[in-house]
Amino acid sequence: MSQSDRFGKDFFESGKRKPWLYKDYNYEELYPLFRFAATAIKTQFNPERVLDVGCAKGFLVKAFRDIGIEAWGIDVSEYALSTAPDDVRKFLYMVDLNSDALPFADSYFNCVAFLGTIECLDSHKKILSELRRVTQPGAGMYIRTAYRTDPEDTIRRNVHGRGYWLKEFSRYGFKLLPTWQGPFANQWSYGTLLFERK
Ligand SMILES: C[S@@+](CC[C@H](N)C(=O)[O-])C[C@H]1O[C@@H](n2cnc3c(N)ncnc32)[C@H](O)[C@@H]1O
């Protein structure tokens, strides 16, 4: 199964109440949450240009643009990208984070949002080196990842604890900032990590 097929309609609109799948990933329910996240990230980093890594249907990109911040998204899912709201689709690119270079110039971004995605990758090495390339020194990174998952979850194959991620991000030149307990803590042990690009 291709990366894009793995994150197809069955993943986003499974219709099932399974914690490792989305029942119905829709704008009406989720936009307010992403608007809240965009506002929180703005308060934290006051960014000019944000990259949303694993942007799915582009709701966070839309939320940033709606508050006047230039934002772009990348994702592997043809299904998610093709069902993004019309006014953000042109700001989203299809990219496989396991292997692809990013379609952005060096040092273009001064903020990265990376929500619920690094734990879904086969390898995070390419994207971390690309994020180092496309960000400016001092850029902020807002990461949310699962430190644990369900044994039946076949989607999240790169699940690690906080200490592991601190070492990995440090290897790619990202310094931990005092961690703010973000709005997303839940029973799945999602953690929020904030970094600054050195
Ligand atoms: C759990 S969803 C999170 C989506 C969104 N960030 C959110 O918080 O709602 C994981 C996202 O990562 C994307 N993804 C998974 N593997 C990927 C890959 N290899 N390259 C690019 N995107 C990938 C999926 O298509 C999906 O949109």
Q: Read out DSSP for 64-96? A: HHHTT-EEEEEES-HHHHHTS-TTTGGGEEE--
Residue nearest to atom 27 of ligand 1 (CA): 56
Tokens of 24: 């119905």
* Ligand 1 binding pocket includes 37 (Cβ within 6 Å): no
Sequence-ordered list of residues with C-beta below 8 angstroms from that of 61, at least 6 positions apart, any chain: 52, 55, 71, 72, 73, 88, 91, 92
The closest-lying atom of ligand 1 relative to the alpha carbon of residue 56 is: 27
Evaluate: CB of 120 within 6 angstroms of ligand 1: yes
* Phi, psi (deg, nearest 5) at residue 97: -65, -20
Nearest-angstrom CA–CA distance, 27 and 85: 8
Look at strands 109-115 and 135-146 and give their pairing: parallel
C-beta 130 within 6 A of ligand 1: no
Predicted TM-score (pTM) of the model is 0.96
Of 7, 158, 159, which is best to mutate to test ligand 1, by the most ligand atoms within 8 angstroms of its C-beta? Answer: 7
What pLDDT, in 10s, does the model give residues 21-70? 999 999 999 999 999 999 999 999 999 999 999 999 999 999 999 999 99
Does residue 51 line the site of ligand 1, with CB under 6 A? no
Is any ligand 1 atom within 6 A of the Cβ of residue 98? yes
**Residue 108, SS3?**
coil
Structural domains in the chain plus CATH codes: 25-197 (3.40.50.150)
pLDDT at residue 78 greater than cutoff 90: yes
pLDDT in tens, 109-131: 999 999 999 999 999 999 999 99
> Rounded to whole angstroms, how far apart are CA atoms 59 and 174?
26
